[in-house]
Amino acid sequence: MIAPLQTEIPEPSGPVLLFDGECGLCQRIVHRLLRIDRAGRLHFAPLQGAAAQEFLRGRGLPTADFDTLIFVPDWRSRTHGPFLVRTDGVIAALRATGRGVARTVAALLAVFPAGLRDAGYRGVARWRYRLFGPWRAGPALAASGPERFLD
């Protein structure tokens, strides 16, 4: 007897980055992280998707505010584990790639106080759609690792 095909992607262990899936800048950053993270440590979920929405609701976080990103260090313990937002999340995501240049950028960002970094982050978030526009899906991102994305 032939076993049925598994259609569901298994839940990842390790870090997941929740990001605005409709933002051109955010999608470009995710694409860059995919290229940097050759070992496949990071997984991604758009804030508008079911997995991220469940996470947000479970934490009592706004489900319609997509001006931030959220780094979840261990997705399997997401219901009770810690998470990082804004620039702390960016730094954690860069460190999670394990790559030298990304880790160096993370170390440089970490030198600045979180309040200062986050003020800059909020400024970019306010202007990102005007500067980078909405995301226009293309084959490059979809082909770069669909198994690394949660819905």
3 lies in some domain: no
141 lies in some domain: no
138 lies in some domain: no
2 lies in some domain: no
pLDDT at residue 135 in the model: 64
pLDDT band at 8 (very low <50, low <70, confident <90, very high): low
The 10 Å Cβ neighbour count of residue 110 is 15
pLDDT at residue 137 in the model: 59
Q: Is the pLDDT of residue 124 over 90?
A: no
Number of folded domains in the chain?
1
Q: Is the pLDDT of residue 29 over 50?
A: yes
75 lies in some domain: yes
66-83 residue pLDDT tens = 888 999 999 988 777 789
pLDDT at residue 44 in the model: 94
The pLDDT mean for the chain works out to 83
pLDDT at residue 50 in the model: 93
11 lies in some domain: no
Joined together, the tokens standing for residue 110 give: 């970490």
| Domain coverage including residue 26 | 16-133
Joined together, the tokens standing for residue 70 give: 């959220």
pLDDT at residue 46 in the model: 93
d(CA 71, CA 120) in angstroms, rounded, equals 18
Report the candidate in 51, 70, 47 with the shortest Cα–Cα distance to residue 11: 51
124 lies in some domain: yes
Question: Would you say 45 and 54 are in contact if contact means Cβ atoms under 8 Å apart?
Answer: no
Greatest Cα pair distance, the chain, in angstroms, is 61
37 lies in some domain: yes
